[in-house]
Chains A and B, each alone.
Chain A
Amino acid sequence: MATTQETQKTETPAAAEAETATLDVFRYIPEEDDKPHTETYEIETFEGMTVLDALIKIRDEQDPSLTVRHSCRMARCGSDALYINGTQRLACNTQVSELKQPIDVEPLPRFDVIRDLVVEMSEFYNRMESVEPWFQPDHEPETGDEYLQSPENRKNIDTVLDCIWCAACTSSCSPAASDSDFPGPAALAKAYRFYKDEREGEETRRRRLEMLENSHGIYRCHTQFNCTEVCPKNISPTEAIMEMSRDAIKEKLRFWR
């Protein structure tokens, strides 16, 4: 342990060629400001520095009033989705060295701003709730007390299960911005997770599809692929939505089958 610390100490002055980064950060403090403004900060970077590291450094060393929501710092909790250089990204999953300077940091677009980079998420949670994202089996388990899922069935939902509710996709989706009844990509990917789950049974599957199958549901998707592009967990909500809408149409065209 001591040796690693020593090597770090000896290496740091050599590696520190005083590389700096400039950040244009969106600032809005409701008690002080009528309107948001942009503040520019210059910081020294280190190798492997993420945007979240940079923001924490600004808060620690330059401006303690800077507010940013973060928790796990490893792209698992989904608290720090921000609008960085024109794209929704997780601040903890974005390297400062990969970005063009000055780095433009804003809260997620299309959400109300509570303070600085923190947005009001309750609208997003309402959207998530609207697709009933909980397990609703329509029958008793066949064997024992547990509902068993086949590995093949589990494979269908491997990717959508990774969702961390960061709201990056819903913020990037223009139909979701113009239609508050549209659940948005994250919620529909979540709906897909339950729609594909064979343990819920045929009756629930059909009910879920009927619930989503309207002009404020799956048919609202314009296949812009914004959600797929911004998802930090490489989920493709577009794919999930299109698969559900294909199934819904096939169900309508009964002569087809």
Chain B
Amino acid sequence: MSKERRVESYDRGRIEDLGRAKDWAIHKPGMWAFYLHRFTGLVLSFYLVMHLGVLGTGFWLGHEEYTVILQGLESLYIVRVLEIGLFAAFVFHALNGIRIVMFDMTVGLDIQEQLFYLSIALSFAIVLAGVPFFLL
């Protein structure tokens, strides 16, 4: 409708949006919750592929090889530490998922910030409680 009277304007574009690096620090809690939820979701789906790959060795290679591979992986310290990371991603994704489902039912929309902090705090508590199970 306004194509004709449109003056020559400057399209700042996506690059400049992304280029505002200094603004990252002042993102609001709701935005951080979104980023964290997306990130942990990606971590979980990436893990799922690896998980199926490891489980698949039981079919492709045989039972003994599968046991050897799994024992070998579990004996590595880095794998156990990564498992804690995976657990943390799962716990946060689950708790924040509950928060998002609550929004869909229009519950707690006015306390979304506090709910985000609560899901972070609960995740920390649960992961800390779970650390002995992974490292011992």
Could you tell me which A residues sit within 8 Å of B by CB distance? Answer: 28, 30, 36, 85-87, 109-114, 119-120, 122, 126, 177, 222-226, 228-229, 236, 238-239, 242-243, 245-246, 249
Check B105 for interface membership: any CB of A closer than 8 A: yes
Contacts of B1 in A (CB 8 A): 122, 126
- Decide: A245 near B9, CB < 8 A? Known: A86-B20, A225-B28: no
Contact B23 A225 (CB under 8 A): no
CB distance from B25 to the nearest CB of A (A): 8
Interface-located stretch among B10-18, B39-47, B74-82, B125-133: B10-18
- Decide: A242 near B31, CB < 8 A? Known: A112-B11, A113-B12, A114-B9: no
Can you list 12 pairs linking A and B with CB atoms under 8 Å apart?
A30-B8, A86-B23, A114-B9, A114-B10, A120-B9, A223-B103, A224-B30, A225-B28, A225-B113, A226-B28, A236-B110, A249-B104
CB distance from B125 to the nearest CB of A (A): 24
Check B26 for interface membership: any CB of A closer than 8 A: yes
Contacts of A177 in B (CB 8 A): 17
Contact B30 A245 (CB under 8 A): no
A238 to B100 Cα, complex, angstroms = 12
A177 to B10 Cα, complex, angstroms = 16
Question: Interface size of B by Cβ–Cβ distance < 8 Å?
Answer: 30
A245 to B34 Cα, complex, angstroms = 19
Per-residue contact bits, chain B 28-39, to A (CB 8 Å; 1 contact, 0 not): 111101100000
Q: Looking at the complex, which one of A112, A113, A223 makes contact with B112 (CB distance below 8 Å)?
A: A223
CB distance from A239 to the nearest CB of B (A): 5
Listed residue (B7, B11, B33, B109) with the most chain A CB atoms within 10 angstroms of its CB:
B109
Contact A122 B26 (CB under 8 A): no
Could you tell me which B residues sit within 8 Å of A by CB distance? Answer: 1-2, 6-12, 16-17, 20, 22-23, 26, 28-31, 33-34, 100, 103-106, 109-110, 112-113
- Decide: A246 near B106, CB < 8 A? Known: A30-B9, A113-B9: yes
- A-B CB proximity, top 4 nearest: A225-B30, A112-B9, A122-B2, A86-B23
Contact B9 A224 (CB under 8 A): no
CB distance from B119 to the nearest CB of A (A): 13
Contact A87 B17 (CB under 8 A): no
> Nearest residue in B to A85 (C-beta to C-beta)?
B26
> Nearest residue in A to B25 (C-beta to C-beta)?
A86
Contacts of A30 in B (CB 8 A): 7-10
Q: Looking at the complex, which one of A86, A110, A113, A242 makes contact with B103 (CB distance below 8 Å)?
A: A242
Contact A114 B7 (CB under 8 A): yes
Given contacts A225-B31, A239-B109, 20 further A-B contacts (CB under 8 A): A28-B10, A30-B7, A30-B8, A85-B26, A86-B22, A86-B26, A109-B20, A110-B12, A110-B17, A113-B9, A113-B12, A114-B10, A120-B6, A122-B6, A223-B34, A225-B113, A226-B28, A226-B31, A238-B109, A238-B112
